Structure formats: C-alpha cells, structure tokens
Amino acid sequence: MAPTLEVVLAKQTLILSWNQFVYTEGSDDEVRIAFASHDVIVRGSGLSSLLHAIPCHRVTSIREVARWERFSTSEMRSICEIEIRRVDAD
C-alpha cells in the first residue's frame, strides 16, 4: 500500500497522505476523491477502475494529460482534467 497519492498537473504537483483520505464517489466519466484538506475531481473516460482502486490505496499517482495528448489517445481509459479544491475548515 502506498503512503501517499501524487496528483500531477501542468503547473502544480500535490502529494496527499492516504491517512487523510475520507471517501471516493463518481462514475465512469468523473471521480471525486475526498481528503480532509482537499477534494480531487478527475474527469475523463473509463474511470470506474480508478473509482474502485482509490479506496484500496492501490493508486500512487494520477496525472492530467497535456492538451495535445487529449486528442491523440485511443485508450478506453483516460484522464482529461483534474481539478483540486481546498477544503475550508469553517
């Protein structure tokens, strides 16, 4: 089991501890990964395997593809966009 999840964006990398993992929800085209401090929203296609792998902490890294890669892939499973939202402690 990996101790962290690395989220790689074009201009930012975020490393989140699995100790802070709360839950995951979603569908084949969007997955929300909730941590105590951040929500990670992954959009793409064929993401149901990610939805089931996250709670088991079997994922070590997810990477948003470059814009040109979005149109050059023929894979059934792909990540097109990753959005990171900070959770406010109000």
**Helix%, strand%, coil% for the chain, nearest 5:** 15, 45, 40
Please report which confidence band the pLDDT of residue 76 belongs to, taking 50, 70 and 90 as the band edges: low
Sequence ranges of the domains in the chain: 4-86
How far is it, in rounded angstroms, from Cα 27 to Cα 50?
Answer: 10
> For 9-39, how does the pLDDT look when each residue is reduced to its tens digit (9 = 90+)?
988 999 999 999 999 999 999 999 999 999 9
* CB distance 75 to 28 below 8 Å: no
Write out the H or E segment, with its range, that includes residue 67.
helix 67-70
Please report which confidence band the pLDDT of residue 5 belongs to, taking 50, 70 and 90 as the band edges: very high
